[in-house]
Amino acid sequence: MPVRTVGATHRAAHASQATESPEVRAALNWFSRNLGWINDQQVRITEVPAPPFQESSRAELVKSLLADCGLEVSIDKTGNVIGELTGATDKEIVMLTAHLDTVFPPATEVKVRRDGIRLSAPGISDNGTGLAGLIAVARAIHEAQIKPRRTILFVADVGEEGEGNLRGMRALVDTYHAKLKAVVVLDGSGTDHVTTKALASRRLEVQINGPGGHSWSDFGMPNPINALVRGSIRFINTKVPASPRTTFNLGQIEGGTSVNSIPYEAKLKVDIRSESEDELVKLESALRESIAAGARDEMESSRDRSKGKLEWKIDVLGTRPGGELAPNSQLFAALRAADDYVGNQSRVERSSTDANIPLASGIEAISIGAGGTGGGAHSLQEWYEPTGREMGLKRALLTLIGVSGLAEEKSK
Ligand SMILES: [Zn+2]
Kindly report, residue by residue over 294-309, the tens digit of the pLDDT: 999 999 988 777 778 9
What are the two backbone dihedrals, phi and then psi, of residue 62, each rounded to the nearest 5 degrees? -65, -35
Q: What is the DSSP string of 162-185?
A: GGGTTHHHHHHHHHHTTTEEEEEE
Q: Which of 394, 402, 395 is nearest to 364 (CA)?
A: 402
Measured in angstroms, how far is the CA atom of residue 305 from the centroid of ligand 1?
A: 47
From 45-49, 149-153, 271-275, the region with the lowest mean pLDDT: 271-275
pLDDT in the model for residue 8: 42
pLDDT in the model for residue 47: 98
% of the chain beyond a pLDDT of 90: 86
pLDDT in the model for residue 166: 95
Mean pLDDT of the chain: 93
Q: Rounded to an integer, what distance in angstroms lies between the CA atom of residue 351 and that of residue 359?
A: 12
Q: What confidence tier does 14 reach under pLDDT thresholds 50, 70, 90?
A: low
Q: What confidence tier does 196 reach under pLDDT thresholds 50, 70, 90?
A: very high
Residue 9 has pLDDT above 50, yes or no: no
Measured in angstroms, how far is the CA atom of residue 251 from the centroid of ligand 1?
A: 17
The residue-averaged pLDDT of 362-386 equals 96
Q: What's this model's pTM, rounded to 2 decimal places? A: 0.81
Residue pair 223/209 in contact (Cβ under 8 Å)? The answer is no
Q: What confidence tier does 320 reach under pLDDT thresholds 50, 70, 90?
A: confident
Q: What confidence tier does 409 reach under pLDDT thresholds 50, 70, 90?
A: low
Measured in angstroms, how far is the CA atom of residue 188 from the centroid of ligand 1?
A: 6
Residue pair 159/338 in contact (Cβ under 8 Å)? The answer is no
% of the chain beyond a pLDDT of 70: 95
Measured in angstroms, how far is the CA atom of residue 367 from the centroid of ligand 1?
A: 10
pLDDT in the model for residue 16: 55
Residue 412 has pLDDT above 60, yes or no: no
CA angle 343-347-352, nearest 5°?
Answer: 130
CA 301 to each of CA 20, 32, 288, 310, 353: distance values in angstroms, whole numbers, following the listed order: 76, 68, 20, 12, 44
Measured in angstroms, how far is the CA atom of residue 262 from the centroid of ligand 1?
A: 39
The residue-averaged pLDDT of 346-360 equals 94
Residue 185 has pLDDT above 80, yes or no: yes
Q: 261-319, pLDDT tens digit by residue? A: 999 999 999 999 998 888 999 999 999 999 999 999 999 988 777 778 999 999 999 88
pLDDT in the model for residue 307: 76
Measured in angstroms, how far is the CA atom of residue 272 from the centroid of ligand 1?
A: 18
pLDDT in the model for residue 319: 87
Measured in angstroms, how far is the CA atom of residue 179 from the centroid of ligand 1?
A: 26
Measured in angstroms, how far is the CA atom of residue 126 from the centroid of ligand 1?
A: 5
Say which residues have a Cβ less than 8 Å from residue 333's Cβ, sequence separation at least 6. Answer: 8, 11, 12, 15, 402
Q: Rounded to an integer, what distance in angstroms lies between the CA atom of residue 357 and that of residue 339?
A: 24
Q: What confidence tier does 410 reach under pLDDT thresholds 50, 70, 90?
A: very low
Residue 10 has pLDDT above 70, yes or no: no
From 44-53, 248-257, 305-314, the region with the lowest mean pLDDT: 305-314
Residue pair 360/322 in contact (Cβ under 8 Å)? The answer is yes
pLDDT in the model for residue 400: 98
Q: Rounded to an integer, what distance in angstroms lies between the CA atom of residue 396 and that of residue 118?
A: 23
Measured in angstroms, how far is the CA atom of residue 354 from the centroid of ligand 1?
A: 9
Measured in angstroms, how far is the CA atom of residue 94 from the centroid of ligand 1?
A: 20
DSSP assignment letter at 178: T
Measured in angstroms, how far is the CA atom of residue 160 from the centroid of ligand 1?
A: 7
Q: What confidence tier does 105 reach under pLDDT thresholds 50, 70, 90?
A: very high
